[in-house]
Amino acid sequence: QSALTQPASVSGSPGQSITISCTGTSSDVGTYNLVSWYQQHPGKAPELMIYEDTRRPSGVSNRFSGSKSGNTASLTISGLQAEDEADYYCYSYAGISARVFGGGTRLTVL
Amino acid sequence: QVRLQESGPGLVSPSETLSLTCTVSSGSVIGDNYYWTWIRQSPGKGLEWIGCIYYNGGTNFNPSLKSRVTMSVDTSKNQFSLTLTSVTAADTAMYFCAREAGSTAELDYWGQGTLVTVSS
């Protein structure tokens, strides 16, 4: 059960859009439509931003969107704001007895 | 709004057993379709899924920790617990409890986390 692969860091300027990828395998991301994304600010618990690959919980800004193609899921943040600077993690269901996180991506808003 | 709160010792000696409890409020651990989950984060590192427990006691564990992990649920206290044996410095981490929605697998509610340090 290997961690999903995410870029270590991404950056963007306010107002721009960025995309964070999350690459798994046919045993997790590629088989189940059950990838979720979490935002974590320093010293805080993670917060759910996207679930079921593309769905957004109520209360989460529509600037956050999710997509998936094959074994790779992606999180896109449009109209970057300073408050978006945080760590982002993907998480995938990998069968009844398995779950796996991505390694995390640090987003810097320039 | 479901709330989760971790509790337990902040310092554990090497080779000893780490025990944490998560208390659930404004919701029930007996909920039909939720997995009660433990996650940890070593200092400066990413999130690691430890495992989860269903209200009937069914469990699933990360294979890398399976030999040392036990989980239990106490429906009368609305709590679930984690036990990790034979700890080393590598087990020093922030430990989070969370609720995973059973059918859609997202972690929709999290505790604030509790830091456990393994040191003599």
In this predicted model, what pLDDT tens digit does every residue of A33-86 receive, in sequence order?
999 999 999 999 999 999 999 999 999 999 999 999 999 999 999 999 999 999
Geometric angle at alpha carbon A98, from B49 and A50, rounded to 5°: 65
The angle formed by the CA atoms of residues B48, B54 and B55, to the nearest 5 degrees, is: 135
Which of B47, B64, B106 lies at the smallest CB-CB distance from A101?
A: B47
Q: Residue A2's pLDDT band (boundaries 50, 70, 90)?
A: confident
State the amino acid at position A95 in one-letter form.
G
Please state, in angstroms and rounded to a whole number, the distance separating the CA atoms of residues B32 and B51: 18
Considering only CB atoms, A103 lies closest to which of B46, B101, B111, namely B46
- Confidence category of residue A97, pLDDT binned at 50, 70, 90: confident
Nearest to B48 among A44, A97, A101 (CB): A101
For residue B103, what pLDDT is reported?
Answer: 87
Instruction: Show residues of chain A in contact with B106, CB under 8 Å.
Output: 34, 36, 48, 51-52, 57, 91
* Closest chain A residue to the Cα of B59, Cα to Cα: A97
Average pLDDT, chain B: 95
Contact A36 B106 (CB under 8 A): yes
Summarised one tens digit per residue, pLDDT across range B10-49 is 999 999 999 999 999 999 999 778 999 999 999 999 999 9
| Distance of residue A79 Cα from the nearest chain B Cα, in angstroms | 25
Distance, CA of B76 to chain centre: 18
Cβ–Cβ contact B108 with A under 8 A: yes
Task: Tell me whether residues A93 and B105 touch, CB distance under 8 A.
Answer: yes
